[in-house]
Structure 1
Amino acid sequence: AVFRNDHIFSLTPYHADGTMFSVAEAAAALQQVLDMSSSVLEEAEEPSISVLTSANRDKWAAVRTDMMERSAVNRASIREIETALYCLSFEDASPSSKQEVAQLCFAGDGRNKWFDKSFTTLVFDNGRGGCNAEHSPVDAMVCVSMFDYVVKRTRDKVILERAHVFEPLPRSAVPPPTKLNFELWPALSMAIETASVELTQLINDVSVRVFKFKHFGKAFIKNYKMHPDFFVQMAIQLAYCRMHGEPVATYETGHTRAFFHGRTETIRSCSLESVAFCKAMADAATKPADALAALRAALTAHGEFAQLALSGRACDRHLLGLYIAAHFSGMTPRPAIFTDTAYKKSGGGGNFVISTSNVGYTPLFGGFAPMRKDGYGACYSILDSRINISTSSWNTCAHTDCQKFGEHLVKALIDMQHLCIAASPPPAQGPSKL
C-alpha cells in the first residue's frame, strides 16, 4: 500500500508470471503513484481515512466494523491495506536535520500512515527517509534489522554503482497502481475529524530529541572490559539521578528468543548497585578507583539480571501472566500484589519511569514515547566510535525535559569515560569484535 496526499494506492511489484519488478520498473510504478496523487488532489481533497487507525483501539474497532459492514467498497479497500506486505508513505515534508526526521517519523502530522501496520517506510520530498513501526507482531529488532539491511544495501549500491543511472521507462511498461476508494457518511466523517483532533493533541504532547554522541563508542568501553549496553544503562541511571535527585524504576527491553515464539522480558536497570554507583559519583570525596569499582559492581549486577531475563527467569512477564489470568477469570477483588503501592512504584502495571531500548550496533536512530506521563524514553545504538541517542518526554509534564535529560546523559557518559581513564590507564586499543 502506497500513501500520498491522503490518497492510498495498491501496488503489486511483480508481473503476472511472478517475476519481480526491476529497479526501473519499480521507479516507474511509484512515479505513477506520485502523478496520480497529484492529479486527484487537484480534482478534490479527500479526508485522511488513515488517521482513524490512530484512535483508541475500541473506538477504531467499532468504526472499522461499521465501515466493513455498510460498504463493500470500504471493505475491499481495508482488506487490500491490511493484507499488504507493508506500507510506503511519500511525505510532503523536507526535513533538514535528524531531529526533524525523528519527529516526523514518530507521527508527523498523523496523515498518510496506517498505524495498524507493523512497518511503514517514510520517504520525504528531499530524499531523506525513515520508518514508523508498531511492533506488536514482532520484536522491535526485526524492524531495525530490516531497515538496517535496506540502508546498507542502498549505500553499497551507491558506492559500487555511483555512475549508474537507469533509463526511465514509460508508464505503460508496468501495470498501473490501483487507487483505493472509500465511501463516507456523516458519522464516519465525524469519526475522522475526532480522531484527527485527538491525534494532533497527542503529537503536540510528545517531544523527541536526538544526540549523536561522538566522544567514544563501544571500542573504548570494551577496552576496559565492560559491556557497552550495560555501560550506557548505568549512564542513564546517573543522568536521571543527577537531574531529578533520586533513582527510579527503569525498563530495558530484553529478548527471550532462546524460546519458541519468545518475545520480550523486562531487564530492571535500577538496582542497589546502580544506586551505589550514582552516590559514589555524587560524592566529591570518592576516589576514582572506588567509583570505578562501584561502576563495575553495577555492571555486574545488571549483567546478572539481564541473564535472568533472557533465560526466562525474571519476574515481570510472570506477573503479567498472573494479572491477565486473574482478570479473565473474573477475580474480585484483584490480588493484593497488583493493588499494592510498591508494585506500581517498582514499575509494575506499566509504570516504569524510564523506558529504554538498545536498537543494536547499527547506525540507526530509534525512539518511542515514555511509558508514563512523568517519565522518559531513551533509545540508543552503539557503534565503534559513537553512540546514537534519542530521548523523549511528554510536554504536559512540567517536571520532565527530554532535551535536558539528553544533555545529562551525554555528560554522564563523558564523566564515566574520564573516570575510567583517571582510575586506570587506557589499555592498548584493538579493533572491536562486537
Structure 2
Amino acid sequence: AFACSVNVALDLTVTIYSNGLLYISHQIKTLVNSLIKGVYPASPSSWLFVAIGILATMYMQSDPSMGLITKIQQHLPLHMSLSAQGQTMVSALVFSTLLWLSLILALRFCLKLLLSYHQWMFEKHGRMSNTTKVWVPLVRLLSSRKPLLYSYQSSLPHLPVPAIQDTVSRYLESVRPLLTDPEFKRMSDLANEFESNLGNRLQRYLKLKALWATNYVSDWWEEYVYLRSRGPIMVNSNYYGMDFLYVTPTSVQAARAGNTITALLLYRRKVNREELKPVRLRVPGTVIPLCAAQCERMFNTTRTPGVETDVLQHWLDSEFVAVYHRGRYFRLWVYRAGRLLSPREIEDQIQRILDDASPPLPGEEKLGALTAGDRIPWAQMRKQYFSSGVNKRSLDIIERAAFFVTLDDEEQGMRGDDPEGNLDRYAKSLLHGKCYDRWFDKSFSVVIYKNGKSGLNAEHSWADAPTVAHLWEYTLATDAFQLGYTEDGHCKGDVEPSLPQPQRLVWNIPAEVQAQVSSSLAVAQALADDVDCHVFPFREFGKGRIKKCRVSPDAFIQISLQLAYYRDRGGFCLTYEASMTRLFREGRTETVRSCSNESCAFITALESGETEEECRRLFQLASERHQNLYRMAMTGAGIDRHLFCLYVVSKYLGVESPFLKEVLSEPWRLSTSQTPVQQMNLFDLKNHPDFISLGGGFGPVADDGYGVSYIIVGEDMVNFHVSSKYSCSQTVSNVSVSWIDDLLYLLSCSPTPCNTFVNKMFYCVNPAYRPKKPGCLSWLCQS
C-alpha cells in the first residue's frame, strides 16, 4: 500500500510538473505570437535596423531626430547613474523605439487603406485598371511577410454603413420581379416615406455605432438572429457536414474516432499557436486576407441557454472531449502529462467505451433532447437542476470539453441496394440524429458511425459554414493521408498501458427533468420527422465545362435553381444566397438576392420560347448581374444586413416602421448557400479521385420553401443538399433535385438532345403540366 501511494504521488508530481512546463511554454509562445502579430506588417527584428540606423547617423555627428533625442535625454531620470555618453545612447534607443512604433502604425494604416480598395473585384478578367495595377504591388509589398493566423486582424477595414437611399433603391429593385404593379407602388410609397423621415434618424444612430464598434452588424446579428431565438436550434439553425462520398478509410469505428479526434486536436493546436495560414483570396499578382476572428471560438465553446437570450461561453483550453455512446456520457482525456495521446491510444480509449456494457443511469439516455427542444424549458431546467451537485459537475464536463463526440450505433453512407435513399438518411442522421444523441449546444459535435463513416453537426451562432468547412477539410485530409491506418484498419502508434479508463459521468435526474426531457424530445421529434432531405451528387459535369461557357459556376447554378423553382411553383420567390463579408474585420455574412430582374427576364424568355439569340443575351445579362450582386454583398454594399440593423435601432428607440417590419417578415422560400472548397492542395484528386467531399447542408428556412446547399468539387462534380418539409404539399426535395439535374443539362454545353427527356420527366411528375419547348441551350458554348 505504501509503495502504491508513493507511485501515485510520483505520478501526480510528474503530471503537475509536465503541466507546469506546458503552461509556461504556452505562455511564452503566446507572448512571442502577440509580439509578431502586434508589429505586423513589420517584424520585431526591424527595430534593430532602425536603432542601428539612428546610432550610426549620430556617430557621424548628425541628429536625425532634429533635437528630439536631446529633449528625451533631458527628461530621462538617469542623470546620476549613467555617463553623458550612456544617457545619449539610451535616449537614442528610446527615440528609435518611438520612431519604429510610428512606422508600424503608418504601415498598418497604409495596409488598411489598401485593403479598403475593392474596385478590383468589379473589373473583368484580364482588364485591370491602372489604379489596380498600382494597388497590386503595394499590397504585395506590405503583406509579403509570412503572417500568423491573426496577423491581419488590426489591418482589416471596418464594414462601412451604406447610404440609406442606396439600400432602399437596391431593395426596391430586388423585389420588383416578385410584386404586381399595385403591390410595387405600395412598397415604393412605404420605402420613400421611410427614407425621407424615420430612416434618416435611424441611420444617424447606426453611424454612431459604426464609429466605436469593430463591426456594426456582427454583434447584433449574433444576438438577435441566433442567441435570442427561443425555438429549437436543431434543424432550424444547426447544420451538418459529411464524410467522403465514395471512401470510408476504415470500417473500425474506434479507429476512425481515434484518427478523427487526433486530427481535430492537431487543428486546434495550429489555431492556438496561430500556425494556421490565414484564409486569403487570390487576386492576379497578390492575395487578400479574410478575417479570422471566427476561429477563436471553434473549440472549448458551448451555447448555454437562457430565458431571454442564450450566451456563448468559451474556455481557453480543454484537455478532454465528451463522448456519448448508447445513452451514457463519458469524459475522455486526450492529453497525458501534457502530451497529446497518439491516435492508437485514443482508439484504445474509445474501444473501452464501446466495450462498456453498463446501462444508462435513470434519465441519462435521452438527456441531450433538452438541447434539441425549445430554449426556455432547457434554461429553466438548467438553472434549477444543473446548477449544483453531480449534475453541475457532469454538465460542466460536457460544456467545457474541446468538442462533443457521438459513437453512433447505426451504419450510414452511400451503400447497399438503395444508395440514393441511404444518402438521404445519412443527411437526416447528421442533421438531427435521434434528437437526443447529439449535444446541439456544443460548437460542433462529431459523429462516428458503426461502419466507420463520420460527419459533424455544427452550432451556427459562433461562426459560419466556411470556417467549419475549413476545419472539416483539414480533418478528413489529415485522417486519410497523414495519419492513415494499418492494414487491418487500426490507427498507427503505440499504446501506453497505464492510461486511466474513460470517466463515466454521473447524473441525478429527478422526475421533473425526465418529464421535460420527454416534452423536449416530442417537440424535436416532430421537427425532425417533418424534414425531407435529399443529397444529390451531380457527376455529369462541373465547373470545368461551365467555365468553357464563359460563365461563373455560381451564377450558372443560381440561375438553374431559379428556373427549377419557377417550373416547380409556377412563379418566382425571394431567394437567399449567403455571401461572406470577411474582407472586413469581424465580418460574417450578407445576403445576395439572387432573384433579379435579369434572371426573371431570362427565365420568362426561355419558357415563352424566345429565340436563341435573345435567350443568349438575357442569360449573359442575368449571370453578369448575379456576379455584380455577389461582389456588392462582399464589399459591404448589400441590402439585408443594413436594413436589419436599422430595424434593431428602431426597436431600441421604441419606434415602429411599417417598411422595415414588412421587409424583415418576408419569407425566404429558396434559401441557398455554396460550401467553398478552400484547401484543394490537401486532396490529390488525380491520384485519389474517390476522395471526394460531399459537403454539407441545412434545414429549410421557410415552412413552404427549400434549403439548397451545394459544393463544387474539382472540375467535374457538383454535390447538392436539398431540404424541405413533408408538411408542405407543394415541396418535395427529391423531385426538385431531379429537376436541377435536367436543368443543368439544359443549360450546359452538352450537345446531348435533352429536351425530350426533360419534357417526359415533367409529364411524369405532373401530368397536367405541358411545358412549352424550352430550346436546348448548347449555344452557351459559342463565343
Settle same-fold status: TM greater than 0.5: yes
Q: Which moved more, 1:352-361 or 1:411-420?
A: 411-420
Could you list the runs of 5+ residues in structure 1 that have no partner in the other structure?
428-434
In structure 2, which of residues 648, 661, 673 is the aligned counterpart of residue 339 of structure 1?
661
- Show CA shifts across 1:7-66 (max 9, x none): 1111121112x1110111111111122223x3335x878431111001212222222111
CA contact (8 A) 1:235 1:409 kept: yes
Q: Which residue of 1 aligns with 2:66?
A: none
Change (3 A) 1:48 1:377: same
Q: Which residue of 1 aligns with 2:684?
A: none
SS at match of 2:537: strand
Q: d(CA) in 1 for partners of 2:488 and 2:359? A: 35
Give the C-alpha shift of residue 280 in structure 1: 2.1
Give the C-alpha shift of residue 238 in structure 1: 0.7
TM-score, normalised with respect to structure 1? 0.89
Q: d(CA) in 2 for partners of 1:4 and 1:166? A: 20
SS at match of 1:40: coil
Q: d(CA) in 2 for partners of 1:399 and 1:424? A: 32
Aligned residue type for 2:729: A
- Matched ranges for 1:115-126 at <5 A: 115-126=440-451
Give the C-alpha shift of residue 157 in structure 1: 4.2
Q: Which residue of 2 aligns with 1:323?
A: 647
Change (3 A) 1:166 1:210: closer
Give the C-alpha shift of residue 287 in structure 1: 2.5
Q: d(CA) in 2 for partners of 1:404 and 1:299? A: 25
Q: Which residue of 1 aligns with 2:705?
A: 375
In structure 1, which of residues 401, 411, 415 is the aligned counterpart of residue 746 of structure 2?
415
Aligned residue type for 1:386: M
Give the C-alpha shift of residue 160 in structure 1: 9.0
SS at match of 1:39: coil
Q: Which residue of 1 aligns with 2:729?
A: 398
Change (3 A) 1:159 1:231: farther
1:358 aligns with 2:674: yes
- Show CA shifts across 1:191-234 (max 9, x none): 10101111111110111001111111011111222111111111
Change (3 A) 1:325 1:72: farther
Identity among equivalent positions (%) equals 30
TM-score, normalised with respect to structure 2? 0.51
SS at match of 1:248: coil
Q: d(CA) in 2 for partners of 1:283 and 1:394? A: 31
1:12 aligns with 2:355: no
Give the C-alpha shift of residue 167 in structure 1: 7.4
CA contact (8 A) 1:32 1:176 kept: yes
SS at match of 2:333: coil
- Matched ranges for 1:205-216 at <5 A: 205-216=530-541
Change (3 A) 1:31 1:312: same
Change (3 A) 1:161 1:93: closer
Aligned residue type for 1:365: G
Change (3 A) 1:421 1:349: closer
Q: Which residue of 2 aligns with 1:257?
A: 582
Q: d(CA) in 1 for partners of 2:375 and 2:644? A: 20
Change (3 A) 1:7 1:166: closer
CA contact (8 A) 1:28 1:171 kept: no
Give the C-alpha shift of residue 288 in structure 1: 2.5
Q: Which residue of 1 aligns with 2:456?
A: 131
1:275 aligns with 2:600: yes
Count of aligned pairs between the two proteins: 414
Give the C-alpha shift of residue 99 in structure 1: 2.1
SS at match of 1:201: helix
- Show CA shifts across 1:93-113 (max 9, x none): 112432221111011211221
Change (3 A) 1:198 1:290: same
Q: Which residue of 2 aligns with 1:58?
A: 376
Q: Which residue of 2 aligns with 1:79?
A: 396
Q: d(CA) in 2 for partners of 1:86 and 1:276? A: 48
CA contact (8 A) 2:342 2:495 kept: no
Change (3 A) 1:87 1:60: same
CA contact (8 A) 1:237 1:247 kept: yes
CA contact (8 A) 1:240 1:408 kept: no
Q: Which residue of 2 aligns with 1:293?
A: 617
1:39 aligns with 2:394: no
- Show CA shifts across 1:362-381 (max 9, x none): 72231111111001000000
Give the C-alpha shift of residue 172 in structure 1: 4.1
Aligned residue type for 1:52: L
Change (3 A) 1:416 1:158: farther
Q: d(CA) in 2 for partners of 1:414 and 1:85? A: 45
Q: Which moved more, 1:321-330 or 1:134-143?
A: 321-330
Q: d(CA) in 2 for partners of 1:59 and 1:130? A: 29
Q: Which residue of 2 aligns with 1:430?
A: none
Change (3 A) 1:30 1:404: same
CA contact (8 A) 1:277 1:298 kept: yes
Could you list the runs of 5+ residues in structure 2 that have no partner in the other structure?
1-321, 416-421, 678-691, 751-774
Aligned residue type for 1:26: I
Q: d(CA) in 2 for partners of 1:235 and 1:117? A: 36
Q: Which moved more, 1:353-362 or 1:302-311?
A: 353-362
In structure 1, which of residues 51, 67, 92 is the aligned counterpart of residue 385 of structure 2?
67
Q: Which residue of 1 aligns with 2:549?
A: 224
Query: CA RMSD, aligned part only?
Result: 2.3
CA contact (8 A) 1:251 1:266 kept: yes
Change (3 A) 1:252 1:3: same
SS at match of 1:109: coil
Q: d(CA) in 2 for partners of 1:5 and 1:129? A: 17
Aligned residue type for 1:40: P
